[in-house]
Amino acid sequence: MSSNEAYEEIELIYSFQQGERKALHQVYALYQRPLCFFTEQLITDTMAAEDIVSECFINAFQKKEDFPSLGQLKSFLFTAAKNSALNYLKAQKRHDDIHHSIERAADRFSIDVENAYIKTEVLQLISLEIEKLPPQCRQVVRLSVVDGKTAPEIAAELHMAYQTVLNQKAKGVALLRTALIKNELLSLPMLVYMLAILQR
Amino acid sequence: MNENNHYIAGLIGKYLDDSLNEEEHSVLTEWINASDNNRDLFAAITDRQQLSANVKRFYAYDTDRISRNISAQIPEFGLPATAPVHRIHFLRKWGWAAAAAFLIGGSVSLWVLHKKTSPAIIAVNTVNIAPGSQGAILTLADGRQVVLDSMTSGVVAHQSGSSVVLSNGKIVYDPAGEGATDIQYNKMTTPKGRQFQVTLPDGTKVWLNAASSIRYPTAFIGKERRVEVSGEVCFEVVKDANKPFLVNINNNKAAIEVLGTLFNVNAYENERTIQTTLLSGSVRVVVPSPTHTAGVTLKPGQQAMISSTIGARTPEEKITVLNDPEIEKIMAWKNGLFNFEGANLEEVMRQLERWYNIDVVYENGIPNIQFMGEMSRQIPLTDLLEILRRTEVDFRVEGRKLIVLNK
């Protein structure tokens, strides 16, 4: 971590404690998707996962002063999501009258939590790589990889010339390549996969 | 959800990138073989189809709905942000009043001396980058880091024998307790876009410009007062004939021996020379080399320039003394001003990079323009560029990158 990044992280948690709106939004932007993904892995219900995540942020924002570091805040958010997911599953089980014993389910649940967490971390790494791209390039890459859109569709959606879309895709490929070669970023299979899709 | 899982996730990424070293490889292999669960999880994560589906899912959540839920309960969260902010950057905004006052007039002037090119005029997106402000990171002897800014005040930390107090944006060491026996070092660092003032345990005042640092003991024990600096630092050293004050610059590239005095050191690594300018008192600037040490004693109003170029030159040849440096220009930063008197475009841009925390890129060549005049450091970048544009150079802003256009 460069000294500017370290400074920004310390300053972020400091402003978070002060309740500055920008800091709240940054924390939210940083963890919203990872928390949704993590929770959804546990309860396999997208809407319910989003509701749980809303509650986690509300709880964290209500005791802003309790988090001396970004790490502790992150840990609180994930633990809160895990606990809510477990409560949700218990309520569901009563409804659905599932036959497993509660104890065995609890064992299974703690393994699921670990698995979901590792998966989430890998996905966040991938999304951080995508967000590092320059704005226009990032938009094209997201539409192409995430939404599976073709170059003409992207051109229409972004009011761009078809050639510009191709250029931006090429730029994305070049940037990701450079990142791979310089080994500055943690490159991931998704990047390789993206290269393949983008070059089609 | 522990550190180890975080580490494993990183290893899985490296495995797929084929960049694991031997040790990491064996750690990951051991983890995979530890259980059927790990083996299955590893296979699931690295499967391309599943990964592709997961990335899509990751981006598909209704985050607007979540932020509406939050703002219903947390008033300070406000309205949902439409676009997520991904980089963590926030410089304190200065009021528009300052900018307006500046634009309306005042003692500000800026002219082009001469130009040899006519740069292109291109429409610019209006990203408002705020100017720098007061702030720094204090790294304590035990490695703890404290963020300092002008908003907070009071005791920041206690360390053996002294307490660290912040008041009015300045940090002061209060050697209240006795028994400071072992030497502990603190380091004050300003990132780009921040400047700060610290008062050392002996009462010496130090001003740090942006992207600078000073390392010093929490109590000056022994025969000398020794500090290490980088970037641009101004000193007002308290006289103590029995304890000379020694400044080590950029890892011993040069050193300054001080006897109660006011002086400025500019030692940014991306400037051509290390400049020590003496305002009052007396300092000796020293350049060490493997064979011997060369030095020069400055009189008030003189500047020693040490060329940082590596060559077979002797330490004597590296030092030049200027008898009439532009004191006002050199000290402008400490007084909250940019002074562009006689500066070329590149010099101006290097100052902007450090103060606005931006990177400057020249699209096609560097326009040959010289500037005159001074202006406040407390205006947003957009306004400053608006003024520079009158000198017929043009700019484009992309994120935190400033692109200088030349035709």
Q: How far apart are alpha carbons B338 and B331 in whole angstroms?
A: 9
- Chain B positions touching A195 (Cβ under 8 A) are none
CA quadruple B72, B73, B76, B78: dihedral, nearest 10: -20
Residue A137 contacts B, CB cutoff 8 Å: no
Distance of CA B249 to CAs B145, B257, B266, Å? 23, 11, 10
Q: With 0.80 as the threshold, say if the pTM is over it.
A: no
3-class secondary-structure state, position B94: coil
3-class secondary-structure state, position B20: coil
Nearest to B1 among A78, A134, A146 (CB): A78
Contact call for A186 and B13, based on CB within 8 A: yes
The residue that leads in pLDDT, B224 or B14, is: B224
Nearest to B349 by CA among B309, B307, B264, B406: B406
Nearest to B77 among A24, A33, A180 (CB): A24
- How confident is the prediction for chain A on average, in pLDDT? 77
**Residue A41 and residue A119 in contact, taking contact as beta carbons nearer than 8 Å:** yes
Residue A78 contacts B, CB cutoff 8 Å: yes
pLDDT of B334 over the 50 cut? yes
End-to-end CA distance of chain B: 55
**Residue B363 and residue B388 in contact, taking contact as beta carbons nearer than 8 Å:** no
In tens, the pLDDT along B117-172 reads 333 323 333 446 777 777 888 888 887 787 877 556 677 777 766 778 887 767 78
**Residue A139 and residue A164 in contact, taking contact as beta carbons nearer than 8 Å:** no
Complex-level ipTM beyond the 0.90 threshold: no
Q: What is the count of residue pairs from A and B with beta carbons less than 8 Å apart?
A: 173
Q: Which of residues 98-117 of A touch B (CB under 8 A)?
A: 111, 113-115, 117
Q: Chain A closest CA to B193's CA: distance in Å?
A: 10
Q: How far apart are alpha carbons B242 and A159 in whole angstroms?
A: 73
> Token pair 């709106």 is at which residue?
A21
Using CA coordinates, name the residue in chain B closest to A121: B9
Q: Which of residues 150-179 of A touch B (CB under 8 A)?
A: none
**Residue B42 and residue B12 in contact, taking contact as beta carbons nearer than 8 Å:** yes
What is the helix, strand, coil percentage profile of chain A, to 5?
A: 80, 0, 20
Nearest to B136 by CA among A27, A70, A22, A4: A4
Using CA coordinates, name the residue in chain A closest to B51: A190
Residue B88 contacts A, CB cutoff 8 Å: yes
In tens, the pLDDT along B338-367 reads 888 778 888 889 999 999 889 999 887 888
